[in-house]
């Protein structure tokens, strides 16, 4: 008799290994590639690491052998702090932009996953939708907001750091397991498509939070390989350039990251919309604006954001809702940069009233703040005339909206 376990069809004999997680991200062009990450667990010390591959097609097939294309994991990373666990990264290339794909994961364990699906990003002028949030965790509010996020049918999810709240600690792998379990079951669109992850690093990915080394963020870096560095850029179709940054967790704001940022902004300068995502806000909604990492962001990044007319900076870390005025330099300006945040995609929102009340009058840069868990839905129109940012709470209520015109 066959059983269905964790999306896998297996026989009745005891398994020496299992697939623990399957999730999607990008290490390259979102229009023509997809990275399928598979975590396996081997339960017997004598068992070899399984060989993992993906079969895929533009139509669903009845059996794995009927799919036209197959790719084998080229990245195989045994996680030595976690005996028996391996991360397999299967990169699918040569994909058709804007195409729906069906796939199944195969392994040398003679098991096949159930059919899953994803859609690549169009490379022609078409509407683009994604959601943004940070500071998630694994509690009920995070799960409620993931359901709301998936219901928006986003083409990807941009997470601004602090995913599982495991603090770079391998001993907290069960926290990561619960986070991935929630993502796998909840972050699926109404039409059944998996939602790819685009993530920035946060302080709760790193042992010590700031100024760490790669080994201090081992679980995040090895479970979710996206780039050789913790800062990277992606082009989403012809209209949007996205910059993902490290706000001092493994890489300082200045130096080589700032030099890279200048080059990345220049690469995307002809696109109508140019956005950045990072964890610690330049213009915090809750913490004091004089904290060191916010000051470093304003020193090293803000002049570049201003010079290249950044559309928006997605900020997190402060666990509240925030919308700034439009800012250039240290002043409010009509054509300045918009800063949206501040990361409450599951972690309980901090109070903006009471003994530590944030006074709008004392923070010239704040347009609106609220103690409210939320995500941002981002809609770029097909003509690239404008982008609309909509804040949505855990009840699905759209409670704030702002738009920005295309960059000149």
For the chain, the domains span 3-119, 128-405
For the whole model, what pTM was predicted?
0.93
pLDDT at residue 5, rounded to an integer: 36
Separation CA 216–CA 249 (nearest Å): 10
Place of tokens 């069906």: 102
Separation CA 174–CA 22 (nearest Å): 16
Homologous superfamily assigned to 3-119: Immunoglobulins (2.60.40.10)
Q: Is the dihedral of CA 327, 276, 188, 10 positive or negative?
A: negative
Q: How far is CA 268 from the centre of its chain?
A: 20
Homologous superfamily assigned to 128-405: Metallo-dependent phosphatases (3.60.21.10)
Residue ranges for the chain with pLDDT beneath 50: 1-14, 355
User: And the tokens for 153?
Assistant: 């049918």
Separation CA 227–CA 264 (nearest Å): 14
Q: Is the dihedral of CA 272, 277, 280, 286 positive or negative?
A: positive
Place of tokens 């994604």: 130
CB neighbours of residue 329 within 10 Å? 11
319: left (phi over 0), alpha (psi -120 to 50) or beta: left
- 378 HSE (CA, 13 A, CB side): 25
341: DSSP letter: E
Separation CA 26–CA 244 (nearest Å): 13
Environment class of residue 229 by beta-carbon count within 10 Å: exposed (0-12), middle (13-18) or buried (19+)?
middle
Closest to 319 in 3D by CA, of 282, 347, 279: 347
User: And the tokens for 300?
Assistant: 């090293």
User: Residue 389's beta-bridge partner residues?
Assistant: 378, 402
User: Residue 240's beta-bridge partner residues?
Assistant: 236, 273
User: Residue 36's beta-bridge partner residues?
Assistant: 24, 90
How do 34-42 and 17-25 pair as beta strands?
antiparallel
Separation CA 178–CA 139 (nearest Å): 10
120: DSSP letter: P
Separation CA 118–CA 109 (nearest Å): 24
Q: Is the dihedral of CA 268, 326, 345, 291 positive or negative?
A: positive
Collapsing DSSP to helix, strand or coil, 118 comes out as strand
* Contact predicate 143/185, CB 8 Å: no
User: Using H for helix, E for strand and C for coil, what is the string for 15-31?
Assistant: CCEEEEEEEEECCCCCC
DSSP codes, 38-56: EEEEE-STTSPPPPEEEEE
pLDDT at residue 4, rounded to an integer: 39
**Helix, strand, coil fractions of the chain, as percent rounded to 5:** 20, 35, 50
């Amino acid at each position: 008799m066959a059983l269905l376990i964790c999306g896998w069809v297996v026989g009745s004999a005891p398994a020496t290994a299992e697939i623990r997680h399957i999730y999607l991200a990008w290490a390259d062009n979102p229009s023509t590639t997809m990275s399928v990450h598979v975590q396996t667990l081997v339960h017997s010390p004598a068992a070899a690491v399984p060989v993992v591959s993906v079969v895929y097609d533009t139509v669903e097939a009845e059996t794995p052998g009927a799919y036209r294309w197959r790719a084998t994991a080229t990245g195989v990373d045994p996680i030595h702090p976690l005996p028996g666990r391996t991360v397999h990264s299967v990169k699918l290339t040569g994909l058709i932009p804007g195409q729906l794909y069906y796939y199944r994961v195969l392994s040398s364990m003679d098991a096949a996953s159930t059919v899953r699906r994803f859609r690549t990003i169009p490379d022609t002028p078409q509407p683009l939708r994604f959601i943004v949030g940070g500071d998630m965790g694994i509690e009920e509010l995070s799960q409620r907001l993931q359901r709301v996020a998936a219901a928006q049918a986003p083409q990807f999810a941009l997470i601004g750091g602090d995913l599982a709240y495991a603090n770079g600690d391998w001993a907290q792998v069960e926290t990561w397991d619960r986070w991935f379990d929630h993502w796998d079951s909840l972050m699926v669109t109404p039409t059944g498509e998996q939602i790819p992850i685009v993530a920035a690093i946060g302080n709760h990915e790193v042992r010590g939070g700031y100024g760490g080394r790669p080994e201090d963020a081992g679980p995040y870096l090895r479970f979710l390989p996206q780039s050789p560095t913790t800062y990277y850029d992606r082009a989403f179709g012809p209209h949007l350039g996205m910059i993902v940054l490290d706000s001092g967790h493994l890489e300082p704001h200045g130096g080589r990251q700032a030099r890279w940022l200048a080059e990345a902004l220049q690469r995307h300068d002809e696109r109508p919309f140019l956005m950045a995502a990072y964890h610690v806000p330049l213009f915090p909604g809750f913490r004091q604006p004089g904290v060191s990492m916010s000051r470093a962001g304003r020193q090293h990044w803000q002049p570049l954001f201003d010079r290249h007319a950044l559309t928006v900076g997605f900020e997190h870390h402060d666990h509240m809702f925030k919308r700034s005025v439009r800012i250039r330099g240290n002043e409010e300006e009509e054509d300045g940069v918009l800063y949206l945040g501040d990361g409450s995609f599951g972690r309980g929102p901090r109070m903006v009233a009471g003994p530590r009340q944030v006074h709008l009058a004392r923070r010239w840069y704040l347009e609106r703040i609220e103690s409210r868990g939320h995500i941002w839905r981002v809609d770029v129109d097909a003509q690239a005339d404008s982008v609309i940012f909509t804040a949505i709470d855990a009840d699905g209520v759209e409670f704030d909206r702002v738009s920005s015109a295309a960059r000149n």
